[in-house]
A and B are shown apart, each in its own frame.
Chain A
């Protein structure tokens, strides 16, 4: 209970700080003066609140997506960016941009989802063929697969001079979030809730196919559900704000170090910590070069890679 209060306090503080920082002046004084500054109020409603929601939604859903992937792949170092999911979504988006440039955002997102699904399924297929499933081999396979997909993306993007456009999808950046331009992300909240209701199934699936089947559950169906959630979340985040690296890896790991591996118990914590982590990254990105911005995804990459190394090198890391 105490921990829940502390977490809520941290999250709320970060959210409030996120509302007050940016290129324009939106201070307490401007908002709560006897005659509130109308410009400040406008910025709050048009830009700051949507940005805060977008950040929290992306953090929450990517964290939970990472957790689900880790259970399905039965490996702690797997998440959308270390299993080829994000790269596949990006390739899908590029394909849609090249072949059907007029497609609305929703259409592009569907294409990206299909690609993300295919890429993740391919990853799991490859995993099945690998006899030695040592903890480190699995993410290495994912990174190699992601690298191959990414090189295809880079090749076509280079050919058609879309490298900078692709770059926009691969680095999460919340600077363009405004009212009316991020609402798609609310769907990820629904997906996170769906993941929560199926939490127990994912916990069981995390113990392996035989175990799951012995309990009378349909293992392939659980895997399919998990894949669908992960792919949809990844595609939505990539389309609206771009990818945030390592998030789905470090957040579930840090949470499970404290909370253990019961998904029903850890999903709310992963959700809250994910949101807090991205809020922090986005705030740092806005403060470092004020009033200009460094993409939150870049900051997440820096912090995330350090934490990733820590988790890898930590003695007695629980693996497998």
Chain B
């Protein structure tokens, strides 16, 4: 609850035009892209600089008001849903690209900057920022940092964490700290930079970031391998990696996903095959050509029906754009689309795909699968209807089984979307009691009043583990 005097304090920090507690404004910030999560904040606030963020946090700390930092709300773990009310903190006014340093190959940005705007700006200078979450046209860098977002290029280049080298953070007591810097090497104490990335807004508020850039690869080529057999596609992934080729992108889409994506994108994707792999390699021309040829051969050996290389850059871009829409396009099938983020070691992809299909039929639910097969990060997506309570129960059971299967294969409950509210009950399955205890101790040290994005990562109760035989 924000009392009148507290509201006055907040207004004096940001001014009336940057504070809104109307019903409409609270409602439109009561959700993110995660189905099933909605909760009203008490107000929405838009600070204009780090000092204002610090002042806001001090007020919230004193009056124990929850703060939820929010980018564009595209996350899929309930990470920015204000579960316990309080303030939703927006970065619309802190969205500048402060600097591209071509000598040190870094970019310094404010959290509200749209990911694609950063990518376009650095590419214009012949540089490359690899993290490319599917939502990059809308998502903000701050959101990417908080959720440690991945993307299609994750297999070769890693995720957001691998490119954040320095941060300015407002801690839950209002202190402003700087971690890392424009440094290739820095081992001064604990690595707070890496700790903050992916902390889902539970440890502090990122107000500025220094990102590492790399030179743009010389060439990029994209191909599509088609399969009549799901297993064969999954086997190809394992075999490509075991042949010591690391492509930029190695994406998997099953038939139902292909059908809806084609229905939306209309780029001529095949809809009569069981699965496709979208493969991309970049680097020096000779290397790219050699790798593409070897990967094409491997796919054909593994019974791909055909392998086609995109002829033009526009064709390649269309394929990748289409893939990025997969999740939303699946919403065409039924009103509710619940996407999961189970991840296994790359060698276990085929087993995991099989397990997902068995689990779906066991619980009689409709699950489509697509995802970053190359890095073991799959997105089994359930197509359902939230109004059908009976089915929703089965969906929940199926997802529990899927997490269990992933963990049994040496995997994890989330590869890139974060734990948020959605997967908090499962965190213990991955970390065990001791692991959760270590993490809560960190949370307690940073945020003793539990005002920073409360209700996320740590659940009140863990789910009971069901042992699945797969």
Whether A associates with B in a native complex is no
